[in-house]
Structure 1
Amino acid sequence: MSNAAQLIATEQRLGAHNYKPLDVVLSRGQGVHVWDTDGKRYLDCLSAYSAVNQGHCHPKILSALTEQASKLTLTSRAFRNDQLALFYEEVAALTGSHKVLPMNSGAEAVETAIKAVRKWGYETKGVLENNAEIIVCGGNFHGRTLSVISFSTDPDARQGFGPFTPGFRVVPFGDAEAFAMAISANTVAALIEPIQGEAGVIIPPVGYFERVRELCTAHNITLILDEIQTGLGRTGKLLAEEHEGIEADVTLVGKALSGGFYPVSAVLSNSEVLGVLKPGQHGSTFGGNPLACAVARAALKVLVEEDMIGNAERMGAYFLEGLRQIRSNVVKDVRGRGLMLAVELVPEAGGARSYCYALKDRGLLAKDTHENTIRLAPPLVIEKDQIDWALQQIEAVLVAA
């Protein structure tokens, strides 16, 4: 049995089976490439679900990590550290935020926003205690905590995990009139992804977010945009909201906030919403730790200084056009924004997973989602010749079907 086979067998024997990864065992990464335990190189077209926007093992982020790790890693928030204020200052300046609350994972950021906006609803908007409602969208993915799956429309996420947290109204994504109909006197917030990634890179109709923003403003509703996957350059803008010409009241970021080196997330807010939190009402031992802050500062710096956002816009348009040139009977739709792309297959194709395995065999790693969709999201440092190579592999697999 090969080393890879042994590692896979051990995972199967000892690990919980809550994931179904492709059977490739990776041991090294650099830029847009990763290598398996046998030394085979792959082009990474998932970027750890956009956590590795800056590319694998970016040297400047690595340097910040090792330098900070040799000095101070964790103090808890019982004491102050010399990296937190600098992180606040830099992320606020970059995003135009007034308040920042750092956490560790994207799901924690979502939970934090839900807590804060409910409290804001009771203390500021005047909603009766325990009556707050948040509007969410069908097809959403905001994590896998109990409160989050309470408003998921994915049966796999929900089955067997009830009873669920109340206080959410689900409306169809992209339907502004349905959104308007769901508003009540108890509505404190709307929680929406600018583009639904896990659902298969679903892009809303033109004008949808403009209308949602108008409705939220008119009804004193906090608009929360989950930019954990779409934010920090992935769509060719710093934040995906920029494509819509709007500003959220609360923005959630994570994943690429650390360039893949460390779990870091943050709630970016106006002063009003996060201002309701008082000492003892919310927190995290690791949230805002000096190592996380130093890594995040470096990750944001290279994103801007190395024009990764501009590259995502240019290379994304090039990649999308190349995908649209592929002629195959199994392709139903090709869509995307920036380097957040998807190839949806016809149901008769038999599911996207087998195509992802075929791509793996050709040295390209992508991930199937919602059965029939191949999702493509390479690091933002990808170059034109690498996209040309990827298009050759994708075309070969889709045309051979």
Structure 2
Amino acid sequence: MRVVLAGGGTGGHIEPMLALADALTRRAGLPGGPVTVTCLGTARGLETRLVPARGYDLRLIPPVPLPRRPTVDLMRVPGRVRRSVADTRALLRELQADVVVGFGGYVALPAYLAARREHVPVVVHEQNPLPGLANRIGARLAARVAVTAPGTPLPRAEHVGMPLRPALTSLDRPALRAEARAAFGLDADRPTLLVFGGSQGAASLNRAATGAADALTAAGVQVLHARGPKNTDVTVPARPAGSAPYVLVDYLERMDLAYAAADLALCRSGAVTVAELSAVGLPGAFVPLPIGNGEQRRNALPLVEAGGGLLVEDADLSPAWIGTHLLPLVTDPAALAELSRHAAAAGARDADERLADIVLAVATGARR
């Protein structure tokens, strides 16, 4: 079985793509023979680092950025699409693809169009409640359409959830807590706030958290804060004797350990982040990115309404807001336990396997 995955560009596309790749690879010993996975990407995306690091073959195609609004650059899109589709068609023939799975973004659109012309069936997975242009087009061409959020406006959408790595879906946070806190140089028994703004960090989260450092640590709350690899100017003075630790890191390679160490997260609300926190039962204070079409707010809202987190607008986030809203919460074990229970109840831990079932069913049907 030869499966081609198209999900390059951002971590929000790449992480579910790799979770599906892992699930398909685990099926290699089942009836039907081994599954060969090839990922499509471009030279400009995070996939050039993340895909090879996970052991998967990466093939590069020309990117097709899709402007959100009418601009002069929109006039160049048809030519870019034609070139990228031609290159992708050649790749699909070379790989003898049985199915193409797309996750949206500027890699997925040429993959969908190339698959249609090569008569290769398509499966679409949409991560956000509000689909992007590539997946709106892809869904019209697809044999099956899977979505993360119920009610996502795509034709024939099947709710499966967000594919996540087994390291997260099988995470036992209480069992790993002592090891995780020790790995980051945190104390074993203090309440712990995790702060992160995605792979590159977030300026507003950095400012608010470091501004609240004195209040948090003086109250006995320790902080694990991923500032982003380019934000080396974000610093916190050494804590006074007796204060809780404030640990600044550039990037969190082991999110499973970070989630196990934490009692509460302050973070953006990308689709993958929201799905990960709910899957592991970690409550979050979500700060939607204040640009775009409002998808990050839509991502977080169902979990917040289910009682698994808080929502604060980027403009309202400040050291004072942290002191007023997060400090009392992170020091209240009963309130945290209630939030955690609701977060875990809203999570989906088997989306990778459910999506793998769909993909293999489509590929098997096409072979008949």
Q: Which has the higher contact order (CA 8 A, sep 6+)?
A: 1
How does the TM-score come out when normalised to structure 2?
Answer: 0.30
How does the TM-score come out when normalised to structure 1?
Answer: 0.29
Whose helix fraction is larger, Structure 1's or Structure 2's? 2
